[in-house]
Amino acid sequence: MEHFLSMKDLSEHEILRLLKEAEAIKNGGQKPFEKQLFVGNLFFEPSTRTKMSFTIAERRLGFESLDFTGESSSLVKGESIYDTARTFEAIGASLLVIRHPEENMAARLAADISIPIINAGDGAGEHPTQSLLDLMTIHQEFKRFSGLRIAIAGDIKHSRVARSNAFALQTLGAEVYLSCKPEWEDRSLPYPYVSIDEAAEMCDVVMLLRIQHERHGKNKGVNPADYLRHFGLTVERERSMQPHAIILHPAPVNRGVEIEDELVECPRSRIFKQMENGVFARMAVMKHLLKDRGIIDDINIDQRDAISSR
Binding site feature residues for carbamoyl phosphate: 49-50, 99, 127, 130, 251-252
Q: Which residues are annotated as a binding site?
A: 49-50, 77, 99, 127, 130, 160, 210, 251-252
Peptide bond preceding 252: is omega within 30 degrees of 0, i.e. cis?
A: yes
Amino acid residing at 138:
I
Written in H, E and C, the secondary structure of the chain is CCCECCHHHCCHHHHHHHHHHHHHHHCCCCCCCCCCCEEEEEECCCCCHHHHHHHHHHHHHCCEEEEEEHHHCHHHHCCCHHHHHHHHHHCCCCEEEEEECCCCHHHHHHCCCCCCEEEEEECCCCCHHHHHHHHHHHHHHHCCCCCCEEEEECCHHHCHHHHHHHHHHHHCCCEEEEECCHHHCCCCCCCCECCHHHHHHHCCEEEECCCCHHHCCCCCCCCHHHHHHHHCECHHHHHCCCCCCEEECCCCCCECCCECHHHCCCCCECHHHHHHHHHHHHHHHHHHHHHHCCCCCHHHHHHHHHHHCC
Which residues are known binding-site members for L-aspartate? 77, 160, 210
Q: Are the CB atoms for 136 and 280 separated by under 8 Å?
A: yes
